[in-house]
Amino acid sequence: MRAYYQDSISNFCNKDNKEILGTLSNKSQFDIIKNQTNAWHYQVKSLQKILKDFSSGYILFEFNIPRIGKRIDNILIYKNIIFILEFKVGQSKILNQDIDQVLDYALDLQNFHKESHDKIIAPILLATDYAKTASIHFSTVKRNTLILQPSICNLE
């Protein structure tokens, strides 16, 4: 399995946080440090709140990208659009490297994940303590691609 946790959005929203955190911890191939557990807890709690009224869709946590040896924090698949969510818990500044990270994930999915070739991919960087209002872009990264410009926001 390429993700530590995956479920329909409706099932995810109705599960207990501890059950989801247990699944994430058990699937991890690395020692879990307190910061990682806290980040997962924040993601689960926040996403359950945001997605509670969604009647369809799918969510994945810690999606492995073998080619680069990295994991995407969260992927939401909703109405045939792939949303890549990269959380920066406790971060108030937006760093270029973080924008590059979420964009690289989108490019890797489109180019090396067969199921994503013909889907719109929306990379989103969520810096939890970022003070500015959301920066949302609807243009694509390059012509002839379905990848949108990375959006930057907090959860407010």
Q: What's the rounded Cα separation, in Å, for the pair 32 and 37?
A: 7
Helix (H) or strand (E) run with residue 114 in it = none
The total number of residues written for the chain in this structure: 156
Q: For 98-124, how does the pLDDT look when each residue is reduced to its tens digit (9 = 90+)? A: 999 999 999 888 877 777 878 999 999
Q: For 71-105, how does the pLDDT look when each residue is reduced to its tens digit (9 = 90+)? A: 899 999 999 999 999 999 888 788 889 999 999 99
Give strand pairing partners of 151: 124
| Contact status, residue 9 vs residue 54, Cβ threshold 8 Å | yes
Phi-psi map region of 10: left, alpha, beta (phi>0 left; psi -120 to 50 alpha): alpha
> Residue 13: helix, strand or coil by DSSP?
helix
Q: Quick check: 133 pLDDT over 80?
A: no
Q: What's the rounded Cα separation, in Å, for the pair 47 and 41?
A: 10
In the structure, what pLDDT confidence band is assigned to residue 139 with cuts at 50, 70 and 90? low
> Cα dihedral angle (91, 94, 97, 99), rounded to 10 degrees?
110
Q: In what order do the strands lie in the sheet with 3-8?
A: 3-8, 58-65, 70-78, 81-88, 120-127, 151-153
Give strand pairing partners of 86: 125
**What pLDDT was estimated at residue 155?**
72
Q: What is the mean pLDDT of the chain?
A: 84
